[in-house]
Amino acid sequence: MTIKRIVVIGPESTGKSSLCKKLAAHFETIWCPEYAREYLTKNGKAYNYDDLLKIAQEQLLLEDKYANNIIHKEGNPILFVDTDMYVMKVWCEYVFQKCHHFILEAISSRKYDLYLLCNVDLPWIQDELREYPDDAPRKELFQIYKDLLINQSVPWTIISGSFEEREKAAIEAVNKLLNQ
């Protein structure tokens, strides 16, 4: 069985997790959460460069676990992924101005079918793990993600607007992929 892997990426507080949940429900499948939330909740908000490598490694293991679960269940062979190694690359470089080779190698070796890039046009929602509430860094990070996606070969689309508009646009993008 070939699993379609669709990654939802973007800056903090852009509705990635909510969108993954809604898409998984709509397409009657599952989604892989962002491991960083679990790690930082358990280990504290203060992190270092090496913590990002641990988070990246665990994110890939978690994604593989969820993909394996799809193989063994009935339904649509689609996995929605909240965060991938592009997110880890941006996080490493934005905070520490360098990136682990493991992350760069994973970017070149892992294959995805579609990226949904969440825009920063939703209001910022504070939580204990988020770092960049100001518009300038959020817009800068969005542009970094957009530049990464422009320079790779996997189809991608920008997801903007209200939660309802995002869901509708994302469903249309996924349907377009599935009908190719």
Q: What residues contact 107, with CB distance under 8 A and at least 6 apart?
A: 85, 86, 89
Instruction: Indicate the DSSP class of residue 123.
Output: P
Average pLDDT over residues 130-135: 61
In which band, very low, low, confident or very high, does the pLDDT at 128 lie, cut at 50, 70 and 90?
low
Average pLDDT over residues 92-102: 97
Beta strand ranges found along the chain (DSSP E): 4-9, 30-32, 78-82, 114-118, 156-159
Give dist(CA 31, CA 81) in Å, integer.
Answer: 6
Q: What pLDDT, on the 0 to 100 scale, is given for residue 137?
A: 85
The 10s digit of each residue's pLDDT in 47-74 is 999 999 999 999 999 999 999 988 877 6
Tell which CATH classification among 3.40.190.10, 3.60.21.10, 3.40.50.300, 3.40.50.2300 matches the domain 4-178. Answer: 3.40.50.300
Question: For the chain, which residues make up each domain, given as ranges?
Answer: 4-178
Single pTM value for the model: 0.93
Q: What pLDDT, on the 0 to 100 scale, is given for residue 16?
A: 93
Question: What strands lie across the sheet with 30-32, from one edge to the other?
Answer: 30-32, 78-82, 4-9, 114-118, 156-159
Q: What pLDDT, on the 0 to 100 scale, is given for residue 82?
A: 95
Instruction: Indicate the DSSP class of residue 2.
Output: P
Q: What pLDDT, on the 0 to 100 scale, is given for residue 126?
A: 63
